[in-house]
Structure 1
Amino acid sequence: MGKGYKILFTVSIISLMCLFLSACGDSKKDDAKADTVEYKAIDQSAIDQTVEDMKGRDHIQDASFTVNKNKIEMKIVADDVSNSDKETARSHADSFLRAISLYVDDNKPTKDSYGKIYDGYYVRIVVEDNNGTQAIEGNMYPGIKSITWE
């Protein structure tokens, strides 16, 4: 192998390494963007009022609403649901999802949306009967305005 080929080979390797490192640098920038907060913090007083509101409704025995970064976990225990009665469980879940709009400014749920409050959040909502048997579970993903029921 001649001297010219060795230089060309070395330059090629260095060029490839630079491309690789710059691609890795862009990946880190993308990861940083993914960690950027794209959701609005929910005030604890709004959460507390929503939970108390739900606990005061007919057939609701208990309710919880927790937020951890961009994840919301909601749970209802109701005395009038069962594994075979998905419609009543969905109705309770729908009410819970919409209830927080009473306590948060600029949050207007519509027929087709639960409101801006959930923008950027992953939401998991579960409805159980008094025995702890899950009647229904729903998930809402960031950027999606509807619940996927399981």
Structure 2
Amino acid sequence: MKESFTLELQKLYDDSHVSSLVQEVCEYYASGLDYEDGSYMEEIEPREIFEPVYILFLLQRRESYLDEFSYIRKKYPHLFTSVEQLYEDILIHMDVNALEKTNADKLSSALDNKITSDEIFDKINSLCMQKDDISDALDGFCSWIHNFYS
């Protein structure tokens, strides 16, 4: 990963203003920038799966996470460039239900339709209600997805 991203990520992980989910998202997107040739596929989770997953989880507390990304834009401008498009996509979609539906459909398709959009919604909602920390809910969701491919 580029040194400028690495330095800002190190600072970000020590910053109490940023949740663990947003830290993870920033690291994921920043690390993907170093693999423009597609070679990242063996080192990080596939984008066709994780981009919709991250969006679906960020939408659970949309306003709060948008505030965190705004903070990152001011405090860590270089790092923000890696998540800027994600931020813009979430910010401009006022119809959150449509954005959720689109991303649940993308995820279902990326998972070869082994899991339906409705099952995805139900699982995310259930996990987010059970867990205080969205990152824990995300971990549970990822484990649930991996069970379909074990």
TM-score scaled to structure 2, two decimals?
Answer: 0.29
Answer 1 or 2: higher relative contact order, Cα 8 Å, separation at least 6.
2
Higher helix proportion: 2
